[in-house]
Amino acid sequence: MRTRKSSAAPAARTWLVTGGAGFIGSNFVHLLFAQEPNARVRVLDKLTYSANLKNLQLFRGHKNFQFIKGDICDARVVARAMAGADVVVNFAAETAVDRSIDDPHTFLRTDVVGVHTLLQQARKEPQLKRFIQISTDEVYGQIKRGSFYETSELRPRNPYAAAKAGGDRLAYSFFATYGLPVIITRASNNYGPRAYLEKMIPLFVTNLIDGQKVPVYGAGLQIRDWLYVSDHCRAVHMLVDRGVSGEVYNVGGGQECTNISLVRRILKLMQRGLQQAAAPWLAAGAQSAQRPAQHH
């Protein structure tokens, strides 16, 4: 994994952040204005179930902020949103594993066709200096021991991971074929402010607040690495200037734990008894959606 020496960021860059009303994308917009106060930021978001304009409420009326409601699969909308952009960061994606099992087509459309639409427009933007494709460590599949490296084989195990792997490799192909300044990041599980309530940690917390049991698959022995969302955003921002085109960068938090250990930590913080609230709950078909242990 190579990086370049740090250099001063150009003033007043124009950014296109797709999926910027979602969890990680909106946190990135907040970091962006904190790091580059004079930045011009456009957010393109379809506003599906997991996006929320309230995540960007702070920037409503900001002279350098523009929100565009639209689909990354729509070439005309993408052309308008990307016009004159210096940097594109693509957070737009369908991301829920269980949803991908029920509706793989939607995931393929957004995570592959949408990425292709963005890349095609990027080729028409001669001023573009960087295209960041936000991928995921899910593309690696499972590992019994050790850790994944950027050169590890991709073995996605569900339609979500397969779709993200398709967009990931498509982005790289536009670097290899057309010389597009593409960088791919693969991060582990994010947590932090503005997370959609369907995600594991906010789901556990809100269930406990409501006096409900938390959903734990099987014995809860699946291993996850957890990455604070602001750390992820800082890594992406750093790679815009210091990353090397064509490279893949794993972004991890170094906080591995089993799901049941995470449940116990949350219960302790919320002062609930394990026997009271953490009994495993399996919805119909939940075992088929279970993700094996991963190390990053």
Instruction: Answer yes or no: is pLDDT of 31 > 80.
Output: yes
| pTM listed for this prediction | 0.87
Please pick, among 86, 137, 168, 241, the residue that the annotation labels catalytic.
137
- Of the listed ranges 75-89, 144-158, 175-189, the least confidently predicted one is 144-158
Contact 294, 145 (CB under 8 A): no
Q: Choose, from 36, 86, 160, 217, the residue flagged as catalytic.
A: 160
Domain segments of the chain as ranges: 14-190+228-252
pLDDT over 70 percentage in the chain: 88
Q: Which residues contact 44 (CB under 8 A, 6 or more apart)?
A: 16, 17, 18, 19, 20, 68, 70, 72, 77, 78, 81, 92
pLDDT at 54 over 70: yes
pLDDT tens digits for range 157-166: 999 999 999 9
- Report d(CA 283, CA 48) in Å as an integer: 24
Which residues lie closer than 8 Å to 210 by C-beta, 6 or more apart? Answer: none
* pLDDT confidence bin for 98, thresholds 50/70/90: confident
Active-site hit among 138, 168, 225, 241: 138
pLDDT tens sequence across 206-231:
888 888 877 777 788 888 889 999 99
198 given a catalytic annotation = no
* pLDDT band at residue 183 using 50, 70 and 90 as cut-offs: very high
Cα 111 to Cα 105, 115, 134, 173: the distances in Å are 10, 6, 10, 15
Is 210 a residue of the active site? no
43 CB neighbour count, 10 Å cutoff: 28
CATH superfamily of 14-190+228-252: NAD(P)-binding Rossmann-like Domain (3.40.50.720)
Residue 196 annotated as catalytic = no
Give me the residue label for tokens 């295209």. Answer: 131
User: What pLDDT, on a 0 to 100 scale, did the predictor assign at position 208?
Assistant: 83
Q: How far apart are CA 5 and CA 258, in angstroms?
A: 37
Is the pLDDT reported for residue 151 higher than 60?
yes
Contact 180, 123 (CB under 8 A): yes
Closest CA to 42 of 8, 3, 77, 6: 77
